[in-house]
Amino acid sequence: MYWLVLFLAVVAVWLLVLALLAKKLWGKSKALLRELGAAQSKLDVAMSPPAAVQQPRADDRVRA
């Protein structure tokens, strides 16, 4: 009986450690995804052509 209780206590401690590690990893992954989204937005803005260089619209070509 003593060995069973000891085994269950060890399993409970391991489960607690795994849960804490999973929580830490989840927090880091959320932060990483947030940073990735911000970087993607900045990249999209940087790759879009400036307003002065944009292609003329069809309306502008008709008026000219």
Helix (H, G, I), strand (E, B) or coil at 50: coil
Please tell me the predicted confidence (pLDDT) of residue 63. 57
Distances from the Cα of 52 to the Cα of 48, 49, 55, angstroms: 11, 8, 9
Residue 64 clears pLDDT 60, i.e. is over it: no
Distances from the Cα of 4 to the Cα of 7, 9, 10, 23, 38, angstroms: 5, 9, 10, 28, 51
The tokens for 33 are 């995804």
**Dihedral (Cα; 55, 58, 62, 64), 10-degree rounding:** -10
Please tell me the predicted confidence (pLDDT) of residue 22. 97
Residue 33 clears pLDDT 90, i.e. is over it: yes
